[in-house]
Amino acid sequence: MIVYIALCGSTGTINRVIHSTPLGIINEGSDIRELFTGENELDSILRQDSGIGQSCRATMKMEGNPIVFVTVMAMNQQRLVLAYDIDDPSQISRLVEMSLNAAALPELSGQEPYGSGYYEIQKLNSRLINYQRTLAKNNVRLQGLLEESRKAQNTIETLERDLLTGLYTEKAFYDKAAGVLAQNPETAFDIIAVDIEHFKIVNAVFGTESADRLLSHLAICLLTIQTDALTLITRARADTFFAILPRNTDTYKKLDENILLFLDGYPLPMRIQIKIGIYHVEEKALSVARMCDLALLAANSIKGNFGQRFASYDRSMREKLIFEQKIVNTMVESLQREEFLVYLQPKVAVDTSRIIGAEALIRWKHPEFGMISPADFIPVFEKNSFIYSVDLFVWEKVCRMLRDWKSKGITGIPVSVNVSRTDLYHEALPETLTSMITAYGLSPEELHLEITESAYVQNSRQLPDAIRRLKEMEFIIEMDDFGSGYSSLNTLSELPIDVMKLDRLFLYQAENDPRRQKVMQFVIDLAKELHLQVIAEGVETEDQAGLLRKLGCRYAQGFLYGRPMPEAEFLACLAAAPK
């Protein structure tokens, strides 16, 4: 059975294929004539314009070239084309049904089945339904976007916060602080830097958990000054915090009190030192990061100063920083070239001026700056931990001197070397010193170890263990600078020291003050009761030497008996001194 029903235009272009058996005979857009051979008769019935159908026989261009009936009827400006061939009379009813259905199509009748406005209404309904569906989809999408926005906001806030302390991150602080300054041009602001001195030691000795706990607790302490939206705080890096706050001296009093409470009895066997630098915001054109650098510079300027917690930035600090940076840039090469020199200052018996020993002191003969004072480079080396390398250099130089002296028959003149407080945190320090004296054929009594009193006070709960280990190896321990402002009589009873060196300030204050002389007399008598040797430092005049004799202090050191000098000059003084 072949049945092909299509709607065509008067020119024969197929507008719609209604039925095709078999399928795909020819599709819309093609010319109906392409389906047949012998097109002339088909042309004539396509051009007819009456509503009466006309038929012809035509050969179809398909397999077998079947000859079919072709009927064309003009209906409503279109042509209904019916091509068919049936093999079985029973198929006639099916052919009639398909023909009637085709003739009833709205395109051919010209009437809408439910009235003239039916399809427009249907179109509007369809558009409305599609709009409602689109609106519902957009609402769902909007809800998703809002949820994503909330999540993004939470993510941003999380990224702006330090995970350990909950304070702002450094970048977030810089951005928000710049906004605070811009929005409040008439308000006077300060930037402060808060730094934990020797925090690396806390991390290395007590572990990251203790170090993190210290940082968290300090952050809580700092939050006590955050009383309004203009005060912002960040943990910028490691142990450094920054804050911006409206200028108010009462705030610093409150902060000082809170830090004192925080540090008092903090559960670490080490005395924690916190330094705070203040930059008064005057040049608002500077970046916040630069302002923080200047505040940190002020904080760094008082590191190593036990009695001072706050410092304000001034321009001289910048010049000092540049000088210190030049020192740092050349320190390693200078040590390798042995531009550091070891000088010796005699220790003498006050009554006879007999030399009983010496203190080794370091000097730096810098190729650019000449002789640099230890007061200028020792604090820098203590900050960056290079002091241990310098001290190792001095210890070995002194051991070599002592060995050479022994080979020349010079004995009984011990030399004391300085041990920095940071050196004492090197666990292998006792073994290092023992190996050194063994290598040079010395005994521990020949190399005395001087430790400043400030080191004892700042680390009073940990240092006794380090010093006891040194004592167990039979080194002589000298407490340097006793009475320089940190004094505690408990220190004398708690630490296993052998020699107490009175700070020069102790002597200067007592020289013309009877009350201070009594205090000094008491300290000397107490030291004798504890079987400690007492050496007064900074003796420059005969009057001071006379006062020491009166107070019963038997040994002294100072310019009166000799300035720090090279080894050769010291040996000459030793040879000329009373025996």
Single-letter residue type at 334: S
d(C-alpha 390, C-alpha 402), whole Å: 19
Closest residue by Cα to residue 483 from 516, 515, 514:
516
What is the C-alpha R_g of the chain? 50
Angle at 199 between CA 272 and CA 457, to 5 degrees: 30
CB of 497 closer than 8 Å to CB of 532: yes
Which of the pair, 152 or 279, is modelled with greater confidence?
Answer: 279
Angle at 493 between CA 490 and CA 495, to 5 degrees: 100
Phi, psi of 552 (to 5 degrees): 85, 20
Tokens of 446: 């020949």
Model confidence at 41, in pLDDT bands (50, 70, 90)? confident
Over residues 190-212, the mean pLDDT reads 89
Over residues 273-292, the mean pLDDT reads 91
CB of 288 closer than 8 Å to CB of 174: yes
Over residues 549-570, the mean pLDDT reads 96
Single-letter residue type at 107: E
pLDDT attached to residue 148: 64
- Give per-residue pLDDT as tens, 461-494: 556 677 888 999 999 999 888 876 555 566 677 7
pLDDT attached to residue 113: 46
The share of the chain scoring above pLDDT 90, in percent, equals: 44
Residue 39 has pLDDT above 80, yes or no: no
Model confidence at 145, in pLDDT bands (50, 70, 90)? low
pLDDT attached to residue 116: 46
CB of 344 closer than 8 Å to CB of 398: no
d(C-alpha 471, C-alpha 488), whole Å: 21
Over residues 80-100, the mean pLDDT reads 78
pLDDT attached to residue 15: 85
User: Does residue 453 carry a catalytic annotation?
Assistant: no
Tokens of 80: 């209904």
pLDDT attached to residue 277: 95
Over residues 5-15, the mean pLDDT reads 85
The pLDDT mean for the chain works out to 85
Q: For the whole model, what pTM was predicted?
A: 0.56
**CATH architecture under which domain 170-313 falls:** 2-Layer Sandwich (3.30)
pLDDT attached to residue 539: 96
Single-letter residue type at 283: E
Pairing of strands 78-85, 2-8: antiparallel
CB atoms inside a 10 Å sphere around CB 26: 18
Model confidence at 356, in pLDDT bands (50, 70, 90)? very high
Q: Of 275-284, 396-405, 468-477, which one has max mean pLDDT?
A: 396-405
End-to-end CA distance of the chain: 144
Tokens of 402: 């002592």
pLDDT attached to residue 509: 87
357 pairs with which residues across the strands? 347
Distances (CA, A) of 146 to 96, 143, 160, 322: 62, 5, 21, 53
Residue 388 has pLDDT above 90, yes or no: yes
- Give per-residue pLDDT as tens, 444-456: 999 999 987 666 6
Residue 340 has pLDDT above 70, yes or no: yes
Q: Of 219-228, 294-303, 442-451, which one has max mean pLDDT?
A: 442-451
pLDDT attached to residue 156: 47
d(C-alpha 59, C-alpha 37), whole Å: 6
Q: What is the dihedral of CA 8, 9, 14, 17, to 10 degrees?
A: -30
Model confidence at 108, in pLDDT bands (50, 70, 90)? low
Read off the DSSP letter of residue 14: E
Over residues 100-116, the mean pLDDT reads 59
Cis peptide before 22 (omega within 30 of 0): yes
d(C-alpha 413, C-alpha 286), whole Å: 58
pLDDT attached to residue 115: 46
Single-letter residue type at 367: P
d(C-alpha 334, C-alpha 310), whole Å: 34
Residue 335 has pLDDT above 90, yes or no: yes
d(C-alpha 472, C-alpha 308), whole Å: 35
CATH 3.20.20.450 describes domain 326-576: yes
Instruction: Name the residue with tokens 């350990």.
Output: 164
CB of 273 closer than 8 Å to CB of 214: no
Over residues 232-258, the mean pLDDT reads 92
Residue 367 has pLDDT above 70, yes or no: yes
SS (H, E, C) 145-184: HHHHHHHHHHHHHHHCECCCCCCECHHHHHHHHHHHHHHC
DSSP assignments along 64-112, one per residue: T--EEEEEEEEETTEEEEEEEE-SSGGGHHHHHHHHHHHHT-HHHH---
Single-letter residue type at 223: L
Over residues 346-373, the mean pLDDT reads 94
Q: Which residues contact 180 (CB under 8 A, 6 or more apart)?
A: 189, 230, 232, 244
d(C-alpha 113, C-alpha 117), whole Å: 10
Active-site residue among 537, 540, 542, 569?
537
Over residues 54-75, the mean pLDDT reads 84
**CATH architecture under which domain 2-109 falls:** 2-Layer Sandwich (3.30)
Ranges of each domain in the chain: 2-109, 170-313, 326-576
Q: Of 104-113, 148-157, 290-299, which one has max mean pLDDT?
A: 290-299
In a 13 Å sphere around the CA of 514, the CA atoms on its Cβ side amount to 0
The share of the chain scoring above pLDDT 70, in percent, equals: 86
Model confidence at 50, in pLDDT bands (50, 70, 90)? low
Single-letter residue type at 183: Q
CB of 414 closer than 8 Å to CB of 443: no
d(C-alpha 295, C-alpha 96), whole Å: 101
58 pairs with which residues across the strands? 68
CB atoms inside a 10 Å sphere around CB 267: 8
pLDDT attached to residue 114: 46
d(C-alpha 261, C-alpha 258), whole Å: 5
